[in-house]
Chains A and B, each alone.
Chain A
Amino acid sequence: MKPKIKNYYNKNEIELADIARKLRALAIKSVHSAGSGHLGGSLSAADIISCLYFDEMNLNPSKPMDRKRDRFILSKGHSCPILYSALAHKGFFNREELLGLRHINRLLQGHPDIKIPGVEFPSGSLGNGLPAAIGMAQESKEKKLFFRTYVLLGDGDMQEGSTDEALRILGFIKYSNVVAILDANKRQGDDKVENVLNYLPKLASRIRSYGWLCLEINGHHIGQILNAFKTAREEHDKPTFIIAHTVKGKGVSYMEDVQKWHGSLAPTNEELKIALGELGEK
């Protein structure tokens, strides 16, 4: 039985929530097949990815090299199972490929590789997505292509110095065609963010001080996510930073806010069955 979707969503939002549910199931299946991977951060980002790929971004899988397509960088590259699921669901490659994740001689690498259709930039080393967006946004502006660049950051990205470099630069040069979304699930590799290196206090005001428009939302509320993107589009002087408060492992009861599901591990056959059951998928 499909889980009930909250009734205050409109038709489009219900559709996006349903896609997020499917993407979660695909990601779990692919990590199960891989034998390792990072599900916690994949599930926390599912709703944001669903809104980006199936509503916000201008993308056409039949024209993957269209110069005016919007660009997306998954700076938290270890969460690639959810990105691959979205690309497969969108039609960039065959869904069968998801089961070849992390296998030798197969398409899907353990972290994003530019050779995978739909992947715009490699990642897996944290803190490099936002700097890369500077170059992408530059190309859009200088060549008058008018595409937008979206970067999904994780808690770990916010601890890297290079992210700060890019925050300063983008705020200074006022590129309003960049949208950064922080999937703040507040757990990282070893422990809670507050126990490792707490970057969260006064985060919004710090980002605003660099010259950004900063919004704070619930990263699992489809309406709030879409509204934030809309606000970003209406901003013409500043880049936009969306702090999306999320729950690690969201959507699967035994993974939610449980440290070990950061990764890198895969669900057992039994766990897979429970997870898919909870998501209403086979």
Chain B
Amino acid sequence: MKSNNKEPFKKPDISLRQAFGDALVYWAKKYNNFVVFDADVASGTGVQIFKNKFPRRFYQFGISEQAMMSAAAGRAAASNGRTIPIVTTFAVFATMRAHEQIRTFIAYPKLKVIIASSHVGLDVGPDGPTAQATEDLATMRAIPNMTVIAPADYNQMIAAFPKLLECKGPVYLRTGRSPAPHVYPQIPSFKIGRADILRKGNDVSIIACGVMVARSLIAAELLEQKGISAEVINVSTIKPLDKKTIIGSSLKTGAVVTAEDHNILGGLGGAVSELLSKNQPTIQEFIGVKDIFAESGDPQHLAKKYKLTSSDISKLAITALKRKFPPKPFTTKNMNHQYKLLKS
């Protein structure tokens, strides 16, 4: 695997689900304590390769997601953490159909289970809204004891995987369906709760996760052509957030754009907003699915239609920058309004 990393940017894009499957196989020998649960979608979630190589560590549940999730809790409870079940299915089935099983039977007793979901956001593409999970970060983040991880590319997935096995308590891991560009030239170091500043800048902070990180890096280049210096941060741990890095960056730039392939409500944007409004109130713009159900289509076309592309990010970064400048002085036109605001 290491030999593959010499010229990573020339490699074809690899989906995060394939990265997840490779991570399972790559780490399976060193970590012989994990097993994989599947609900008849192994070829869709990328775990087929693991199923073929380690059939004794693979369990088929049929299309019974609720039972699979409770069974994972049962396995973790009975083994007292010696066996780590990794539950794999599409994000809508894992986080929505079996949401209560995750909350009450995995998170409440703080059992060591990893829930690894593919098929997230508009990255799902032609399968349409039934499979496009745009709520998973919000719902998983709202569960106590849960760690929420969304790696940005192949190399980060490989790096993150052993850390997810080693940390305490349950983990939600967001993978992806469509080919994703590389962000990290080599396998990076990974620490749960640490955000990576991928590009330094002073004018605006672009805070992104998952497939939006690569797009944010392109957006930063577009902004550079216009003389705007953008900082790009990859928040691969949505929960717990890297408070220091995010507050530090927003303190420096004074304007933030969050970018996620997820509803703009409650996900990364919401998490950053909650953090900043308490600690460092900052102007913020949100890139994401705007609280609507999308449609079928090629992921690239969907990204364009629903405004998730790098040029959308750069446009919103400029909007944020404009808002950063001091408000207009009092004029007769807006005086009444300003006065009312002051009085209230």
The stretch from B63-71, B169-177, B215-223 touching chain A is B63-71
Distance A134 CA – B74 CA, assembled complex (angstroms) = 7
Count: A-B pairs, CB below 8 Å: 100
Number of interface residues of B (CB under 8 A): 28
Q: When each residue 51-83 of chain B gets 1 if its CB lies under 8 Å from chain A and 0 otherwise, what string results? A: 000000001011010111111111111111011
Chain B residues, CB < 8 A from A132: 70-71, 73-74, 77, 105
Distance A128 CA – B70 CA, assembled complex (angstroms) = 6
- Among A125, A139, A165, A172, which residue has its beta carbon within 8 angstroms of that of B83? A139
Taking a contact as CB atoms under 8 Å apart, the answer to whether A138 and B75 are in contact is yes
* Cβ of B216 to closest chain A Cβ, rounded Å: 40
Taking a contact as CB atoms under 8 Å apart, the answer to whether A128 and B104 are in contact is yes
Taking a contact as CB atoms under 8 Å apart, the answer to whether B109 and A122 are in contact is yes
Check: B101 CB closer than 8 A to any chain A CB.
yes
- Among B66, B74, B82, B100, which residue has its beta carbon within 8 angstroms of that of A121? B74
Chain A residues, CB < 8 A from B82: 143
Taking a contact as CB atoms under 8 Å apart, the answer to whether A136 and B104 are in contact is no
- Among A115, A136, A169, which residue has its beta carbon within 8 angstroms of that of B61? A169
* Cβ of A3 to closest chain B Cβ, rounded Å: 38
Chain B residues, CB < 8 A from A243: none
Seen from chain A, the residues whose Cβ lies within 8 Å of a Cβ on chain B are 65, 67, 71, 73, 113-115, 120-122, 124-125, 127-128, 130-136, 138-140, 142-143, 149, 161-162, 165-166, 168-169, 172
Chain A residues, CB < 8 A from B105: 121-122, 128, 132
Chain B residues, CB < 8 A from A169: 61-62, 64, 67, 71
Question: What are the 6 closest A-B residue pairs judged by CB atoms, nearest first?
Answer: A135-B74, A135-B75, A132-B74, A131-B70, A165-B67, A165-B64
Check: B85 CB closer than 8 A to any chain A CB.
yes
Distance A136 CA – B70 CA, assembled complex (angstroms) = 10
25 A-B pairs whose Cβ atoms sit less than 8 Å apart in the complex? A65-B80, A67-B80, A113-B109, A114-B77, A120-B77, A121-B73, A122-B109, A132-B73, A133-B74, A134-B67, A135-B70, A135-B72, A135-B78, A136-B75, A138-B74, A138-B75, A139-B74, A139-B78, A143-B79, A143-B83, A161-B66, A162-B66, A169-B64, A169-B67, A169-B71
Check: B108 CB closer than 8 A to any chain A CB.
yes
Chain B residues, CB < 8 A from A166: 64, 67, 70-71
* Cβ of B38 to closest chain A Cβ, rounded Å: 13
Closest chain B residue to A163 by CB distance? Answer: B67
Chain A residues, CB < 8 A from B83: 139, 142-143
- Among B59, B62, B80, which residue has its beta carbon within 8 angstroms of that of A138? B59
A162-B67 contact in complex given A132-B105, A138-B59, A169-B62, C-beta closer than 8 Å = yes
Closest chain B residue to A138 by CB distance? Answer: B75
Tell which of B64, B70, B105 has the most Cβ of chain A within 10 Å: B70
The A-contacting residues of B in range 82-101, CB under 8 angstroms, are 82-83, 85, 100-101
Chain B residues, CB < 8 A from A143: 79, 82-83
* Cβ of A232 to closest chain B Cβ, rounded Å: 19
Chain B residues, CB < 8 A from A121: 73-74, 77, 105, 109
Closest chain B residue to A69 by CB distance? Answer: B78
- Among A71, A131, A133, which residue has its beta carbon within 8 angstroms of that of B66? A131
Distance A115 CA – B109 CA, assembled complex (angstroms) = 8
Distance A217 CA – B105 CA, assembled complex (angstroms) = 31
Taking a contact as CB atoms under 8 Å apart, the answer to whether A134 and B71 are in contact is yes
Chain A residues, CB < 8 A from B101: 128, 131, 162
Distance A166 CA – B66 CA, assembled complex (angstroms) = 9
Taking a contact as CB atoms under 8 Å apart, the answer to whether A131 and B67 are in contact is yes
Chain B residues, CB < 8 A from A120: 77-78
* Cβ of B226 to closest chain A Cβ, rounded Å: 54
Taking a contact as CB atoms under 8 Å apart, the answer to whether A131 and B100 are in contact is no
* Cβ of B77 to closest chain A Cβ, rounded Å: 6
Closest chain B residue to A121 by CB distance? Answer: B77
Taking a contact as CB atoms under 8 Å apart, the answer to whether A135 and B66 are in contact is no
